[in-house]
Chain A
Amino acid sequence: MIQLTNTAQRWGLVSVMIHWLSAITVVSMFVLGLWMVDLTLYDRWYNAAPDIHKSIGITLLIVTLARLTWRLSSVTPEPLENHTAIEKKAARLVHVLIYVLLFSIMLSGYLISTADGHPIDVFGLFEVPATLHGIDNQEDIAGDVHLVLAIMLMSLAAVHALAAVKHHVIDRDRTMLRMLGK
């Protein structure tokens, strides 16, 4: 029987899948973003790359909102016995920060493309309308914020990943195994 929901000891399949799919998506979006801004008029992907980046971004926003709702309305696994007070505090802080950065990055991205009042097209399926727009240099300010926060998120994600590896390899505890559904 595959466990879909979380328990006090384990992450359920829903949380596990969203975690890893999000992680892969976020890292891919970072790479795509850095690559696409250096494309010029004569590159075949000049238009397509940003279109894909925006569509995935909006999709990820919807998924992350659902993810947060799921998390806040679920049991979450308790800290393990060997987790120290500092580790518990640090983990909580980093996890909260990652959520804050994710939403800030997606919001600032949205504010770049909608700065002139135009909606964002998502995979040709639907459009997300502009809301806050028309601010002087909105696209530039939002763009700077988007990049800076993305770099911060990548740094924090690296710390997050290293911490998981530390638990697995040095502490030899179940922290990382739990996020693999075990």
Chain B
Amino acid sequence: MKKMLYPALIILALIGLPVHAANYVIDTEKAHAFIEFKISHLGFSFVKGRFNSFSGEFSYDENDPSASKVSVNIDTSSIDTNYAERDKHLKSADFLDVSKYPTATFTSTSFKELGNGKARLSGNLTLHGVTKPIMIDVTEVGAGKDPWGGYRRGFTGVTTLKLKDFGIDYNLGPASTEVEIQLSLEGIRK
């Protein structure tokens, strides 16, 4: 028993070390992350949809949150609004033109905590072949150990994009010039 005491103490000490910068993989494998959007239909209601296939990672440092980084790659052809003919149209050259632009990417440039679990994430979004800086309103949801030996951290984010800013100029009517992107992301610490 005594032989095991010191190694055990060392191991316990290592586990208890404070976390500095940590890298997380966004848990798309078990679909604990969602990239959804919402756009007005003729001013009468909202069409919602999702990009079913994407991947990404982020790093978050509890001691220096402003050093946090996010990067996400979205498979644009995975768009899903629960209606095959609409999805087909959205993937065509009229909108996303996925055969030309199969991936949309976001790479963050800054992360600023605002207090109360809110933060502002800035970065460059490349969509439909156009790269523009955008800002996402982030809410930190929670973080901690999971029941299976891992450590997870999650956020939600909202931002609104003007379709024309990214070269998508199909006339959807005056109520539908902007689309709201809603993110719900959980990362597993590497």
Residues of chain A touching chain B, judged by Cβ–Cβ distance below 8 Å, are: 40-42, 50, 112-116, 118, 136-140, 143
Q: Does B64 touch A at the CB level, under 8 Å?
A: no
Contact yes or no, A140 B91, CB < 8 A: yes
In Å, the complex CA distance between A10 and B172 comes to 56
Given A118-B83, A137-B77, A112:B173 Cβ within 8 A: no
In Å, the complex CA distance between A50 and B89 comes to 13
* Chain B hits for A118, CB < 8 A: 83-84
For chain B, the count of residues having a C-beta within 8 Å of the partner chain is: 14
Contact yes or no, A41 B173, CB < 8 A: yes
* Chain A hits for B145, CB < 8 A: none
Residues of chain B touching chain A, judged by Cβ–Cβ distance below 8 Å, are: 77-78, 80, 82-85, 87-88, 91, 170-173
A-B pairs with beta carbons under 8 Å apart, 25 shown: A40-B171, A41-B171, A41-B172, A41-B173, A42-B171, A50-B85, A112-B85, A113-B84, A115-B84, A115-B87, A116-B83, A116-B84, A116-B87, A118-B84, A136-B77, A136-B78, A137-B77, A137-B91, A139-B84, A139-B85, A139-B87, A139-B88, A140-B77, A140-B88, A143-B88
Contact yes or no, A114 B77, CB < 8 A: no
* Chain B hits for A112, CB < 8 A: 84-85, 88
- 9 smallest beta-carbon distances between A and B, as pairs: A115-B84, A116-B84, A139-B88, A139-B84, A137-B77, A140-B88, A143-B88, A113-B84, A116-B82
* Chain A hits for B84, CB < 8 A: 112-116, 118, 138-139
* Chain B hits for A136, CB < 8 A: 77-78
* Chain B hits for A140, CB < 8 A: 77, 88, 91
In Å, the complex CA distance between A118 and B82 comes to 9
In Å, the complex CA distance between A68 and B78 comes to 39
* Chain B hits for A143, CB < 8 A: 88
